[in-house]
Structure 1
Protein backbone atom coordinates (compact mmCIF):
# COMPACT_ATOMS: atom_id res chain seq x y z
CA UNK A 1 0.00 0.00 0.00
CA UNK A 2 2.93 2.36 0.49
CA UNK A 3 3.69 2.30 -3.22
CA UNK A 4 0.35 3.31 -4.68
CA UNK A 5 0.24 4.41 -8.27
CA UNK A 6 -0.32 8.18 -8.04
CA UNK A 7 -3.86 9.35 -8.54
CA UNK A 8 -4.13 10.53 -12.17
CA UNK A 9 -5.11 14.09 -11.37
CA UNK A 10 -5.01 16.47 -14.34
CA UNK A 11 -5.29 19.62 -12.19
CA UNK A 12 -8.50 20.60 -13.95
CA UNK A 13 -9.81 22.16 -10.73
CA UNK A 14 -13.30 20.66 -11.03
CA UNK A 15 -13.25 19.24 -7.50
CA UNK A 16 -11.92 22.54 -6.12
CA UNK A 17 -14.81 24.40 -7.75
CA UNK A 18 -17.41 22.21 -6.04
CA UNK A 19 -16.29 21.94 -2.42
CA UNK A 20 -19.79 22.91 -1.30
CA UNK A 21 -21.15 19.55 -2.53
CA UNK A 22 -19.49 17.44 0.19
CA UNK A 23 -19.82 17.66 3.95
CA UNK A 24 -16.10 16.83 4.10
CA UNK A 25 -15.04 19.89 2.09
CA UNK A 26 -17.87 22.39 2.63
CA UNK A 27 -15.82 24.28 5.23
CA UNK A 28 -13.42 25.26 2.42
CA UNK A 29 -16.16 27.07 0.48
CA UNK A 30 -15.39 30.75 -0.10
CA UNK A 31 -19.10 31.41 -0.58
CA UNK A 32 -19.59 30.41 -4.21
CA UNK A 33 -18.85 26.68 -4.01
CA UNK A 34 -15.17 27.22 -4.86
CA UNK A 35 -12.40 26.39 -2.41
CA UNK A 36 -11.02 29.47 -0.72
CA UNK A 37 -7.49 28.23 -1.52
CA UNK A 38 -8.12 27.79 -5.24
CA UNK A 39 -6.45 30.18 -7.66
CA UNK A 40 -8.93 30.84 -10.48
CA UNK A 41 -6.19 32.09 -12.80
CA UNK A 42 -3.86 29.08 -12.56
CA UNK A 43 -6.26 26.27 -11.53
CA UNK A 44 -3.82 25.49 -8.72
CA UNK A 45 -4.03 25.31 -4.95
CA UNK A 46 -2.53 28.25 -3.10
CA UNK A 47 -1.65 26.05 -0.10
CA UNK A 48 -0.80 22.82 -1.94
CA UNK A 49 2.02 21.77 0.40
CA UNK A 50 -0.19 22.39 3.47
CA UNK A 51 -3.56 21.38 2.00
CA UNK A 52 -6.07 19.49 4.17
CA UNK A 53 -5.90 15.70 4.33
CA UNK A 54 -9.17 15.40 2.36
CA UNK A 55 -7.33 17.01 -0.57
CA UNK A 56 -4.39 14.59 -0.35
CA UNK A 57 -5.93 11.72 -2.28
CA UNK A 58 -3.36 9.01 -1.58
CA UNK A 59 -2.91 9.92 2.09
CA UNK A 60 -6.65 10.22 2.71
CA UNK A 61 -7.16 6.82 1.09
CA UNK A 62 -4.46 5.20 3.24
CA UNK A 63 -5.84 6.66 6.47
CA UNK A 64 -9.58 6.21 5.93
CA UNK A 65 -10.38 3.88 3.05
CA UNK A 66 -7.66 1.29 2.45
CA UNK A 67 -9.41 -1.29 4.61
CA UNK A 68 -12.67 -0.86 2.72
CA UNK A 69 -11.84 -0.55 -0.97
CA UNK A 70 -8.94 -1.48 -3.25
CA UNK A 71 -6.88 1.44 -4.57
CA UNK A 72 -7.67 0.65 -8.22
CA UNK A 73 -11.40 0.55 -7.47
CA UNK A 74 -11.13 3.81 -5.53
CA UNK A 75 -9.35 5.48 -8.45
CA UNK A 76 -11.92 4.18 -10.92
CA UNK A 77 -14.81 5.51 -8.82
CA UNK A 78 -13.14 8.89 -8.39
CA UNK A 79 -12.44 9.20 -12.10
CA UNK A 80 -16.13 8.56 -12.76
CA UNK A 81 -16.98 11.35 -10.33
CA UNK A 82 -14.44 13.64 -12.01
CA UNK A 83 -16.12 13.04 -15.37
CA UNK A 84 -19.55 13.92 -13.91
CA UNK A 85 -18.25 17.18 -12.46
Structure 2
Protein backbone atom coordinates (compact mmCIF):
# COMPACT_ATOMS: atom_id res chain seq x y z
CA UNK A 1 0.00 0.00 0.00
CA UNK A 2 2.29 2.77 -1.18
CA UNK A 3 -0.39 4.92 -2.76
CA UNK A 4 0.06 8.66 -2.16
CA UNK A 5 -3.71 9.04 -1.68
CA UNK A 6 -3.46 7.27 1.67
CA UNK A 7 -3.06 9.83 4.44
CA UNK A 8 -5.11 8.26 7.22
CA UNK A 9 -4.86 4.63 8.28
CA UNK A 10 -7.43 3.04 10.56
CA UNK A 11 -8.32 1.06 12.57
CA UNK A 12 -4.73 -0.17 12.88
CA UNK A 13 -5.02 -3.85 12.09
CA UNK A 14 -3.37 -3.38 8.71
CA UNK A 15 -0.50 -1.62 10.47
CA UNK A 16 -0.18 -4.44 12.98
CA UNK A 17 -0.06 -6.96 10.14
CA UNK A 18 3.11 -5.32 8.81
CA UNK A 19 4.69 -4.84 12.23
CA UNK A 20 3.72 -1.20 12.79
CA UNK A 21 1.79 0.32 15.68
CA UNK A 22 -0.91 2.99 15.72
CA UNK A 23 -1.14 5.74 18.34
CA UNK A 24 -4.43 7.57 18.73
CA UNK A 25 -4.80 11.08 20.11
CA UNK A 26 -7.10 11.17 23.13
CA UNK A 27 -8.36 14.65 22.30
CA UNK A 28 -9.08 16.05 18.86
CA UNK A 29 -10.63 19.42 18.10
CA UNK A 30 -12.53 19.57 14.82
CA UNK A 31 -12.67 22.89 13.01
CA UNK A 32 -15.11 23.89 10.33
CA UNK A 33 -14.48 26.46 7.64
CA UNK A 34 -16.72 27.76 4.90
CA UNK A 35 -16.34 25.72 1.71
CA UNK A 36 -14.13 27.20 -0.94
CA UNK A 37 -13.54 26.07 -4.49
CA UNK A 38 -10.25 24.31 -3.68
CA UNK A 39 -11.88 22.41 -0.82
CA UNK A 40 -14.84 21.40 -2.95
CA UNK A 41 -12.49 20.11 -5.65
CA UNK A 42 -10.41 18.22 -3.09
CA UNK A 43 -13.54 16.65 -1.63
CA UNK A 44 -14.66 15.65 -5.12
CA UNK A 45 -11.28 14.05 -5.78
CA UNK A 46 -11.49 12.14 -2.49
CA UNK A 47 -14.98 10.85 -3.28
CA UNK A 48 -13.88 9.87 -6.79
CA UNK A 49 -11.07 7.81 -5.24
CA UNK A 50 -13.33 5.86 -2.86
CA UNK A 51 -13.63 2.76 -5.11
CA UNK A 52 -9.89 2.33 -4.54
CA UNK A 53 -10.43 1.51 -0.84
CA UNK A 54 -12.20 -1.88 -1.09
CA UNK A 55 -9.96 -2.86 -3.99
CA UNK A 56 -6.81 -2.38 -1.86
CA UNK A 57 -8.05 -3.88 1.41
CA UNK A 58 -6.34 -7.07 2.56
CA UNK A 59 -7.42 -9.85 4.92
CA UNK A 60 -5.84 -9.55 8.35
CA UNK A 61 -3.82 -12.65 9.34
CA UNK A 62 -5.50 -14.83 12.01
CA UNK A 63 -2.69 -14.17 14.51
CA UNK A 64 -3.23 -10.41 14.26
CA UNK A 65 -7.00 -10.86 14.56
CA UNK A 66 -6.49 -12.96 17.71
CA UNK A 67 -4.20 -10.34 19.29
CA UNK A 68 -6.68 -7.57 18.49
CA UNK A 69 -9.54 -9.60 19.94
CA UNK A 70 -7.59 -10.27 23.13
CA UNK A 71 -6.79 -6.57 23.46
CA UNK A 72 -10.44 -5.61 22.96
CA UNK A 73 -11.57 -8.07 25.63
CA UNK A 74 -8.90 -6.82 28.05
CA UNK A 75 -10.04 -3.24 27.53
CA UNK A 76 -13.68 -4.17 28.14
CA UNK A 77 -12.82 -6.05 31.32
CA UNK A 78 -10.51 -3.33 32.67
CA UNK A 79 -11.76 -1.67 35.85
CA UNK A 80 -9.19 1.12 35.76
CA UNK A 81 -10.61 4.60 36.03
CA UNK A 82 -11.20 6.34 32.73
CA UNK A 83 -10.47 10.06 32.67
CA UNK A 84 -12.84 12.01 30.47
CA UNK A 85 -12.94 15.72 29.79
TM above 0.5: no
- Give the number of the structure whose alpha-carbon radius of gyration is greater: 2
Q: TM-score, normalised by structure 1?
A: 0.27
1 or 2 for the larger relative contact order (CA 8 Å, sep ≥6)? Answer: 2
Q: TM-score, normalised by structure 2?
A: 0.27
